[in-house]
Amino acid sequence: MKKLIYLFVLLGAMVSCEDDIDDNTPAFQGTIDGEFFRATQLGVTPGEDDVWILEGTMTVEKITLQIVDLNTGIYGLGENLRNTGTYTKEGDGTFFTGETGNTGNVTISEYNTEENFISGVFKFTANNEDGSVNVQDGIFYRVPIIGTPPAPVPMP
């Protein structure tokens, strides 16, 4: 009889369980100086001088990643003026990655040319005249490419 009661309790628990998972696709999020950031507007657009702009905006905050390529790989930020990361917050100004070495990176793990999206991770430290911000644990997932993406370069 005890086994029968345990079986009913187990079945009741299984039936009452439901998936309560928010669909967070596409996604662009991370932490800024330890504070959670989740973009409500996001996308990838072609920029000037053959760069791509990956941007996520949340009310008065914005993270912008400028990279030279959308192919899978690791792109150092701050190594040159073409790969950069910026953080802007209304009232605090804009913080930029430095020009004197790698201050972070963007790793593109997926570039889907059929459905036009990219996925990957990022982190960087950015500065302005008033101080610095540390952007960590950045994730972008299935962010739509708006505009004409280049054809992927075949790997040798």
**Residue 13: enclosing H or E segment and its boundaries?**
helix 2-16
pLDDT in tens, 42-75: 999 998 888 999 999 999 999 999 999 999 999 9
Dist CA 148 CA 156 (whole Å): 24
Instruction: Name the pLDDT band for 79 (thresholds 50, 70, 90).
Output: low
Dist CA 47 CA 72 (whole Å): 19
117 close to 142: Cβ distance less than 8 angstroms: yes
Question: How much is the pLDDT for 16?
Answer: 45
Q: Whole-number mean pLDDT of the chain?
A: 83
Using the predicted structure, report yes or no on whether residue 15 has a pLDDT greater than 60.
no
Q: What is the DSSP string of 112-153?
A: ETTTTEEEEEEEEEEEETTEEEEEEEEEEEEEEB-S-PPPPP
Using the predicted structure, report yes or no on whether residue 4 has a pLDDT greater than 80.
no
Using the predicted structure, report yes or no on whether residue 130 has a pLDDT greater than 80.
yes
> pLDDT > 70: what percent of the chain?
76
Q: Of the candidates 119, 111, 47, which has an alpha carbon nearest to the alpha carbon of residue 83?
A: 47
Question: How much is the pLDDT for 63?
Answer: 98
Interstrand relation of 61-67 and 117-128 (parallel, antiparallel or unpaired): unpaired
